[in-house]
Amino acid sequence: MTSCPLCRKVIIMQSTGIVRKIDELGRIVLPQELRAKLDVGAKDGIEFYWQDNCLLLKKHEPACTFCGSADGIVLYEGKNICKVCREKITNLNET
Ligand SMILES: [Zn+2]
């Protein structure tokens, strides 16, 4: 069994049956049906992961600078901060 290097869930890799050629500048087009599955569009970020000679693509989601959570992210002074860490920071001022 294989587990996802990101979420640790057991996964069964499925071939999409799609093959694309790399152009002279090293680019490939991510097919529309895969963009839809990843819920990505123009200008969205894609993260690349490498494991066991396989390349994994994942939609880039902003994560909290402090804890890595992606829940309730707010950008402040150029840093992403989640709801829980904002509350913790707020409580620091009350003590
Ligand atoms: Zn956080």
pLDDT at 48 over 70: yes
pLDDT at 52 over 90: no
Measured in Å, residue 57 CA sits from the centre of ligand 1 at: 24
Which residue type occupies 29?
Answer: V
Tally of domains within the chain: 2
My answer on whether 11 and 49 are in the same domain is yes
Measured in Å, residue 69 CA sits from the centre of ligand 1 at: 5
pTM confidence score? 0.61
**51 strand-pairing partners:** 54
Calculate mean pLDDT across residues 55-81: 91
My answer on whether 25 and 70 are in the same domain is no
Task: Give the side-chain half-sphere CA count within 13 A for 49.
Answer: 11
My answer on whether 50 and 72 are in the same domain is no
My answer on whether 38 and 54 are in the same domain is yes
Measured in Å, residue 95 CA sits from the centre of ligand 1 at: 20
My answer on whether 72 and 50 are in the same domain is no
Across the chain, mean pLDDT equals: 88
Measured in Å, residue 87 CA sits from the centre of ligand 1 at: 9
Measured in Å, residue 5 CA sits from the centre of ligand 1 at: 21
Range of the domain at 93: 63-95
Separation CA 11–CA 61 (nearest Å): 21
